[in-house]
Chain A
Amino acid sequence: MDRRDFMATGAISTAGMLFFPGNLLANTAKEENLQRLVKPLPHKMDGEWKEFELYIDIHIHEPAPGFKYHTLAFNDSVPGPEIRVNAGDKVRVKFINKTDLNHTIHWHGMHVPWRMDGVPFVTQLPVMPKNEFIYEFVAKPEGTHFYHCHWGTLMHMQAGMFGSLIVENPNDPIKKRFPYEREYTLVYSAHDTNYVRGEMNGMLERMKQQSFLMKEGRFTPEEWSVFDNKEQLLDSMSNGYIPPYSNSRRSNADLPQANWFTVNGKSYPSTPYLFIKENENIRVRLINAGAETHNLHLHGHDFWMVADDGVPLEHPWKRNTVPLNAGKTYDIIIEGKNRGIWTFHDHDTRKVTNNGLYPGGNLLALVYEDLPADELIITKHSGNPMLNPNTGMGGMKMDKMKMGDEKMKMNKMLFGEDKLPKIALDE
């Protein structure tokens, strides 16, 4: 490091397309919303094997309009594409590492053969830069699962190396009890983007040096910090090897402090909408691929808890707030019994922020798409007599107040169009 490098500054600027929720009930809103949902990963058949291809590369990701950062991404997408198979399918995933870092894929919640479990140096060697690995397993058990990188997990998972893996059961007991047509996968994560950049730089730099030594044939267990057994570690230590944990490489304060909270890789106002109709059931698969707990609360409804870690619950039960811990998956059924636009968000509101500013993060909405457009008009149904002279009942009625032109102009200036919802981005 150049001792004279005082501080480097850079500029991240971008223009993003803002999606105006004022048009939430239009068909275009539903089409646009597809971009906010996880993308299915297509497969090819090879005999009885379903063959998928996942590659990993460095990618520029934009969680919310105007904020971009470098991250790792499966198939150029955060989260990675969704793998969806039937229970009992033979699954083959060709994994291609296009980066200069090591990686593996771990199939979280899946009962794969142990050599396919993706834990480096335990079940396999890491997939080195520009290398490939073929994962093969039979899809079981049924339910909502996910996959993620298991190398340098603290950084690689935050950096976007995760995706959903759904194993469907043709005789799904949940679907029998709560018939539904539509379902949504919501993959939650939390990211310290400054940590991701710093750590990714550190790893890339170390890999450059290690590649140099590899080329020269001088690579040793010490360089790897990888030992065959404890005796080898102790031998190396007596020869001067210092285990990395004994050097204070990072103080507690330097551990990741998430500053971006995402659902399907997006933060508010780019988060997905859950569209529903009156009397419709929708299934929502909640996956926490990050390291923070998210206390998800749905306004105006109690939802059914129907599966825990993919396992269908024999006796579903109702609640309106669920703590989604790191590594958990829950399936919930929302019944369309209370029309409106309802927020569904982390009740730890520190996580409803973007880079420290509220609102942002994992704030999203359940939207009744058959909501009468009339109900969106602010002045018509407002409880504020200043806006709506017909508010209240009986003696409370302030029918003497009339909406003068001046008042209309003032409201237009303050609140824009006479329509809900709006994006509120002022802290």
Chain B
Amino acid sequence: MLGIQFPDANSDLGQVFYNNIFMRIEDEKNIVKVGRTLTQTILNEFPTLRDDDAIRFVYALNPFSDGVNTERDQYANVLEYARIFNQRFFVSLHGENFYDSLSPDNFKLNSMGISLMYRVPFVQKWDRNILQEIGVSYNNYFTDRPGYSNDFKSSVKNLIFSTTLNLKPDPINFIDFKFQAIQNFGWDEITALTDYFDYTRTQSTSVFGTFRYMKRKQKRPNYQFTLGGGYKSLSNLNTDSDQFIMIANSFYRLGENFDIGFQYRFTSNNGYTKTLFGKNEHRVQFALVYSFNKIFNKQFGDRNQLLNLEHNYIR
């Protein structure tokens, strides 16, 4: 038996999240994933300082969440099966139990989706001139829409399109462009925003993209500049409402495992989103980043290593 309890009753620590505890079983062509992990409500990985810096633009948001924290949009209890064709095409069927703020102890499957991705493994991209990744994902959240008994009709539906283009697949001066668009086919009847539930359940269209330049002196990252921006329009509301974001950041490698970073973010909210999230915001962040990873069992290599891609040791 495994038990974890955070935090102590009177510690005032607030909530502590465990985001990744899952089991993955895979062979050459199949992956099964069960447990708590990232959901497929984002298809790309944007070079922002934190992965929730542009969360309202790059995630299909959890319609069961009251919006108190971003973890509830990013992570869920996931059951996922992916089939891989020619090492590049990923077809994934998935179901999730997203955190439901109104009934937090409910562990029912409350979302299902499918995603189709074409992805050139990072280590092979030096042979690719343009297309590194492209994919679409469809997510269906089983919300209780007043007046609808049919599960499908009462659900919130999202369609995501994502791509990454190698503008310069150069091992030393690397430039790429990442883009993602999300269409939320929300409920027609939500024409005003009173809370976060309305925000995630109303119709919206969001786009987000980044240009990144990475200097890889001696073929390892040395410094990086990113300029990105996004726009979200909530077209079904009775007052013109939209949101805008601009992000610029830079990282510099200090030494083994250590980087320093700087990020400037500007967000602007109009109409109902201004009431919900506040006025325009300028945010400047400095970061000292220490990153490490440790694999305890080295018996098996990574799916994306060249030895596997070119000579197949995972069967």
Contacts and interface: CB of A to CB of B under 8 A. Distances in A.
20 contacts: A3-B45, A6-B22, A8-B301, A8-B303, A9-B25, A10-B27, A11-B314, A58-B307, A60-B311, A201-B302, A201-B305, A201-B306, A208-B126, A208-B306, A209-B126, A212-B126, A212-B171, A218-B172, A222-B218, A247-B256
A391 B255 CA distance: 72
B219 interface: yes
B66 interface: no
Nearest to B217: A240
A213 interface: yes
A2 interface: yes
Contacts of A70: 307, 311, 313
Interface string B200-228: 00000000000000000111000000000
Contact of B24 (A9, A209, A222, A223): A9
B310 interface: yes
B123 A9 contact: no
A198 interface: yes
Interface in A231-247: 240-242, 247
B301 A201 contact: yes
Interface in A282-301: none
B26 A213 contact: no
A10 B171 contact: no
A69 B20 CA distance: 30
A194 B299 contact: yes
A242 B172 CA distance: 15
A8 B38 CA distance: 16
Nearest to A201: B305
B26 A8 contact: yes
A204 interface: yes
A212 B308 contact: no
Contacts of A222: 218
A205 B172 CA distance: 14
Contacts of B310: 58, 204
Interface string A1-44: 11111111111110000000000000000000000000000000
Contact of B45 (A2, A200, A210, A240): A2
A58 B307 CA distance: 9
Given A206-B219, A212-B170, A5 B302 contact: yes
Nearest to A194: B298
Contacts of B315: 10-13
Interface residues of B, number: 41
A159 B169 CA distance: 31
B218 A242 contact: yes
Given A204-B310, A209-B126, A248 B256 contact: yes
Interface of B: 20, 22, 24-27, 37-38, 45, 122-124, 126-127, 169-172, 217-219, 255-256, 295, 297-308, 310-311, 313-315
A10 B26 contact: yes
Contact of A9 (B219, B256, B300, B304): B300
Nearest to B51: A3
Instruction: Give the 9 A-B CB pairs with smallest separation, nearest first.
Output: A10-B314, A209-B171, A194-B298, A204-B306, A201-B305, A10-B300, A212-B126, A8-B302, A8-B303
A202 to B, nearest CB: 9
Contacts of B124: 208
A5 B307 contact: no
Interface size bracket, A side: 35 or more
A313 B124 CA distance: 54
A222 B220 CA distance: 13
B307 A197 contact: yes
Nearest to A208: B126
A249 to B, nearest CB: 9
A7 B305 contact: no
Contacts of A240: 217
A140 B22 CA distance: 61
Contacts of A241: 218
A204 B169 CA distance: 17
A240 B302 CA distance: 32
Nearest to B256: A248
B300 A8 contact: yes
A197 B255 CA distance: 26
Contacts of A58: 307, 310-311
A69 B308 CA distance: 11
A1 B122 contact: yes
Nearest to A197: B301
Contacts of B26: 8-10
B219 A10 contact: no
Given A10-B26, A10-B314, 11 more contacts: A4-B45, A8-B302, A10-B27, A10-B300, A11-B315, A13-B315, A60-B311, A197-B307, A204-B306, A206-B219, A218-B172
A415 B167 CA distance: 68
Contacts of B171: 209-210, 212-213
A213 B297 CA distance: 34
